[in-house]
């Protein structure tokens, strides 16, 4: 008798997490629970520390040679994201202390400055459809240490080597703004504050990263700027002022010009608006001053920069300079100057940190001037700036060479120019 075998379905295996399968199994996946927990804990510490520090009264301070980045506007488009990253970096508590600590450790242990620079930022905008060859990565330092203790802002090199858009495009937008302002019946004038590397190159190291492209871009930039009939080139005047005082008008450890530059800026603006108006000026040296330099803190050091105030007798008799303290985040109205040698028409001036040391001399020169920082552009893509320009008969701009040459000057973003010119066209001067 043949034994019959009953066929049974194979028993299903109990459910097993893929992490418990043999490593050779095709479906094996390792567990990351512990790593995820550590990552979450680190993230919690990272985000909670600034918040707790702020609640305890610890707030980020301004220790670089610029104001802290304002929270960006969504209306900026793609540039919102890099601005957001810079805002987050600027507002980290204890960042200054971290920079100082890093510098001390690097110099103490390795005998060299720490690599406090940053990678060049990727161009703003959507990802290109076609892949492009990666650009060479150069890590420019925040501060370039030169000869005889001289320091230079690293962005003066990086800005000339990593242009966010071609120089032709930048200058074309500047020309479009100029033509639109003039078409509205207003005067238009631009003062470019030269970089320290342009005015005092003799103290730069013999070799440094970006030397060739900085020199090449600077030469092309100034050639283009001098060809623009709205741009005031202060290089010759600043070099003459340096010869007169026996030293460059940019301090060895500061990224900005001293009072000589601020005074030259005010005088040049007045001459551009009314040629010959400053012929009556008498300038006398005033009291010396000394302040904390702005470049040493970027590498964990401290330093001093010094200079001298000046008396500006616009009519040859009265000194009309006065101390003016303002960060220009809000519009600043200067309305005290009067008499011979002053300009009395309504002027709108958009400036940056170079304008700070010009304020006492602008106050002595202009009877009706409203000044504001470029950062006002971030509020509403130029609409408020358009209103400021429309309220005045003269539009004046002061901008640093590194900002204009790099193509990052917010005033020349196409949408900003559009908004400004639309406001001016709606309110022309006949």
Residue 111 has pLDDT above 50, yes or no: no
Q: Using CA atoms, how far apart are residues 97 and 111, in angstroms rounded to an integer?
A: 20
Cβ distance 60 to 92 under 8 Å?
yes
Q: How many CB atoms sit inside 10 A of residue 396's CB?
A: 25
d(CA 136, CA 133): 9
361 and 267 in contact (C-beta within 8 Å)?
A: yes
Cβ(159)–Cβ(402) below 8 Å: yes
Predicted confidence (pLDDT) per residue in 323-349, tens digit: 999 999 999 999 989 999 999 999 999
Q: What average pLDDT does the segment 170-191 reach?
A: 97
Sequence spans of domains, the chain: 145-426
> Which residue shows structure tokens 């028993």?
11
Q: For residue range 228-278, what is the model confidence (pLDDT) as tens digits?
A: 999 999 999 999 999 999 999 999 999 999 999 999 999 999 999 999 999
User: pLDDT confidence of 139, banded at 50, 70, 90?
Assistant: confident
Tell me: pLDDT of 78 over 80.
Answer: no
Question: pLDDT digits over 282-322, tens only?
Answer: 999 999 999 999 999 999 899 999 999 999 999 999 999 99
Q: Assess contact for 417 and 173: CB atoms under 8 A.
A: yes
64 pLDDT exceeds 90?
A: no
Q: What is the pLDDT of residues 345-402, one digit of tens each?
A: 999 999 999 999 999 999 999 999 999 999 888 789 999 999 999 999 999 999 999 9
58 within 8 A of 93, measured Cβ to Cβ: yes
Tell me if 399 sits within 8 A of 190, measured CB to CB. yes
Furthest-apart CA pair in the chain: how many Å? Answer: 137
By three-state DSSP, how is residue 240 classified?
helix
Please compute the mean of the pLDDT values over residues 108-116 and round it to a whole number: 51
Q: What length does the chain have?
A: 430
C-alpha to C-alpha distance for 143 and 145, rounded to whole angstroms: 6
| CB-based contacts of 297, cutoff 8 Å, min separation 6 | 63, 64, 96, 99, 100
Annotate 155-169 with b (16+ C-beta within 10 A) or e (fewer).
bbbbbbbbbbeebee
Assign 191 to helix, strand or coil. Answer: strand
Share of the chain above pLDDT 90, in %: 65
Report residue 132's pLDDT band, with 50, 70 and 90 as the boundaries. Answer: very low
At residue 347, the pLDDT reads 98
pLDDT of 32 strictly over 80: no
Closest to 254 (Cα-Cα) out of 100, 158, 143: 143
Q: According to the model, what pLDDT value does residue 134 have?
A: 47
Measure Cα distances from 94 to 88, 97, 242, 272, 296 in Å: 13, 5, 38, 45, 17
Strand order in the sheet with 187-193: 231-233, 187-193, 394-400, 347-351, 369-373, 332-334
Greater model confidence, 125 or 193: 193
């Amino acid at each position: 008798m043949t034994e019959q075998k009953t066929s049974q379905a194979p028993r299903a295996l109990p459910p097993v997490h893929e992490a418990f399968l043999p490593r050779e199994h095709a479906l094996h996946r390792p567990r990351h629970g512990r790593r995820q927990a550590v990552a979450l804990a680190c993230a919690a510490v990272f985000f909670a520390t600034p918040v707790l520090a702020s609640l305890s009264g610890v707030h980020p301070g301004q220790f670089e040679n610029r104001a802290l980045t304002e929270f960006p506007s969504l209306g900026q488009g793609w540039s919102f994201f890099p601005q957001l990253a810079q805002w987050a970096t600027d507002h980290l508590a204890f960042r200054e202390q971290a920079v100082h600590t890093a510098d001390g450790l690097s110099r103490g242990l390795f005998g060299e400055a720490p690599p406090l620079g940053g990678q060049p930022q990727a161009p703003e905008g959507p990802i290109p459809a076609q892949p492009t060859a990666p650009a060479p990565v150069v890590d420019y330092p925040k501060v370039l240490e030169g000869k005889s203790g001289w320091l230079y802002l690293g962005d003066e090199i990086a800005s000339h080597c990593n242009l966010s858009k071609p120089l032709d495009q930048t200058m074309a937008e500047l020309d479009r703004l100029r033509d639109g302002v003039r078409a509205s019946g207003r005067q238009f004038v631009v003062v470019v504050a030269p970089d320290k590397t342009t005015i005092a190159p003799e103290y730069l190291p013999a070799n440094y990263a970006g030397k060739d492209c900085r020199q090449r871009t600077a030469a092309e930039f100034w050639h283009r700027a001098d060809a623009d009939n709205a741009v005031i080139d202060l290089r010759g005047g600043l070099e003459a002022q340096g010869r007169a005082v026996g030293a460059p008008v940019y301090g060895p450890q500061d990224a900005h010009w001293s009072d000589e530059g601020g005074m030259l800026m005010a005088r040049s603006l007045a001459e551009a608006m009314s040629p010959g108006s400053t012929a009556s000026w008498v300038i006398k040296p005033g009291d010396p001053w000394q302040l904390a330099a702005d470049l040493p803190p970027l590498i964990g050091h401290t330093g001093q920069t010094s200079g001298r105030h000046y008396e500006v007798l616009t009519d040859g008799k009265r000194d009309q300079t006065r101390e003016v303290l303002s960060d220009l985040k809000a519009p600043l109205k200067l309305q005290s100057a009067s008499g011979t040698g002053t300009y009395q028409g309504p002027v709108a001036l958009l400036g940056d940190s170079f304008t700070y040391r010009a304020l006492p001399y602008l106050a002595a020169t202009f009877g009706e001037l409203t000044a504001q920082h470029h950062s006002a552009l971030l509020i509403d893509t130029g609409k408020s700036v358009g209103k400021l320009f429309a309220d005045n008969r003269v539009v004046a701009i002061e901008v640093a060479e590194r900002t204009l040459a790099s193509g990052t000057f917010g005033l020349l973003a196409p949408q900003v120019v559009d908004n400004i010119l639309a406001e001016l066209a709606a309110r022309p001067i006949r």
